[in-house]
């Protein structure tokens, strides 16, 4: 197979995969969530773009002038749909602009111009049609690139500079996966700029291979964000539900016996620390620090660490993790939470990642969370 044939196969397979993916999202448990609707549209858009490219490279419409030259610029919707997903996932739609009110009319205008262009040349015998069409579509694509870059940049501005608007989501999701999307997305824009630059440099004669990196990277990235959104939305909903139902019934029990070196004042402070952790469930906060807790009880961080070391015989992190492990163990064995994923339980117990939860849990219990759950229930 030639490189072009392999690429054409990629376009076809990825498009069919995307249509199936969109169908499954639409009928999934969270498919009606607004954020998932826009992820679905995002995947559907790239799938339509790929199937259109595959049809054109196969020359299926070569005998039909109108269809052969009427290329719908589906890529124009990629950045807007991602932006709409973002503001709905962060639950800040009321504080954000609905850019589709602007994008959809522009898209209609672009389609109208293309229809007018094709209709004008359909009954004319001109050898310049391909050149003129390529020149127009290149300028249209440059416009699309500039619009996409603006929306992409504005979306990143919202994510990185307006955290106060979505603190509720940050309590459940650190959004690292979305930051990763932005980092990887920059590479696709580089590929896009290079492909356009080559087209212009070749006097608007498309060099088909220049678009291969762009099409492949965009397709993989969109499908990746789609799968991530499904996973993360489920975790987000489960953690919100868990937090509503959660009532901490148990916590680590520490020795009440004081020796001569453990004076009553320090014990009083230690009791205050434990009560604070339990009453406010501070240990479920992944970013809980010794400085924050020290400020809550109005002592310096060094003194707090020392008191915890004396009475719990653990470091600050180990002490906090005891609370988290006890809570996780309780939830893992509670029949009311059997439908929740182990990852959601670990994150809601205060761990900042699945890997940290699993390693810490195994260190404390000698088993992985799933093995512990099975061993106790059996």
Instruction: Give 3-244's CATH code, choosing from 3.10.129, 1.20.1070, 2.60.40, 1.10.260.
Output: 1.20.1070
What pLDDT is recorded for position 251?
44
Give the whole-angstrom CA distance, residue 7 versus residue 314: 58
Q: Which tokens in the block code for residue 55?
A: 């049809």
CATH topology for 264-377 is: Arc Repressor Mutant, subunit A (1.10.10)
- Residue 91, burial from CB neighbour count under 10 angstroms (0-12, 13-18, 19+): middle
What pLDDT is recorded for position 123?
65
Q: Are 36 and 229 in contact (CB under 8 A)?
A: yes
Residue 124: pLDDT band (50, 70, 90) is low
Give the whole-angstrom CA distance, residue 133 versus residue 118: 9
What pLDDT is recorded for position 218?
87
Least confidently predicted of 144-153, 206-215, 270-279, 313-322:
206-215
Per-residue pLDDT, averaged over 125-147, amounts to 81
∠312-371-247 over CA atoms, to 5°?
Answer: 55
pTM over 0.85: no
Query: What are the structural domain ranges in the chain?
Result: 3-244, 264-377
């Amino acid at each position: 197979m030639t490189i072009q044939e392999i690429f054409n196969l990629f376009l076809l397979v990825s498009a069919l995969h995307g249509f199936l993916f969109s169908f499954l999202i639409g009928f999934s448990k969270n498919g009606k969530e607004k954020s998932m609707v826009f992820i679905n549209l995002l995947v559907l858009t790239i799938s339509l773009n790929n199937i259109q490219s595959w049809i054109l490279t196969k020359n299926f419409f070569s005998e039909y002038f109108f269809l052969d030259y009427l290329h719908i610029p589906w890529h124009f919707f990629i950045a807007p749909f991602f932006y709409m997903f973002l503001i709905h996932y962060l639950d800040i739609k009321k504080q954000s602009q609905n850019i589709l009110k602007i994008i959809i009319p522009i898209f209609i205008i672009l389609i109208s111009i293309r229809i007018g262009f094709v209709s004008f040349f359909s009954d004319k015998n001109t050898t310049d049609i391909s050149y003129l069409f390529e020149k127009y579509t290149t300028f249209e694509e440059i416009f699309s690139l500039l619009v996409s870059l603006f929306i992409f940049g504005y979306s990143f501005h919202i994510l990185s500079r307006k955290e106060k608007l979505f603190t509720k989501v940050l309590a459940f999701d650190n959004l690292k996966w979305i930051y990763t999307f932005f980092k990887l997305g920059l590479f696709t824009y580089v590929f896009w700029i290079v492909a356009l630059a080559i087209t212009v440099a070749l006097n608007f004669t498309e060099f088909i291979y220049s678009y291969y990196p762009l099409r492949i990277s965009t397709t993989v990235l969109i499908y990746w964000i789609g799968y991530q959104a499904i996973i993360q939305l489920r975790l987000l909903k489960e953690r919100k539900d868990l937090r509503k139902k959660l009532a901490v019934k148990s916590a680590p029990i520490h020795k009440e016996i004081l020796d001569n070196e453990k004076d009553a004042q320090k014990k009083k402070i230690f009791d205050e620390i434990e009560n604070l952790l339990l009453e406010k469930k501070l240990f479920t906060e992944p970013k809980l620090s010794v400085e924050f807790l020290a400020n809550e009880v109005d002592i310096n961080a060094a003194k707090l660490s020392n008191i915890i070391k004396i009475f719990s015989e653990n470091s600050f992190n180990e002490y906090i993790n005891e609370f988290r492990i006890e809570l996780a163990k309780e939830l893992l064995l509670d029949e009311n939470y059997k439908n929740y994923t182990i990852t959601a339980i670990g994150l809601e117990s205060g761990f900042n990642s699945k890997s940290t939860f699993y390693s810490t849990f195994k260190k404390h219990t000698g088993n992985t969370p799933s093995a512990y759950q099975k061993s106790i229930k059996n």
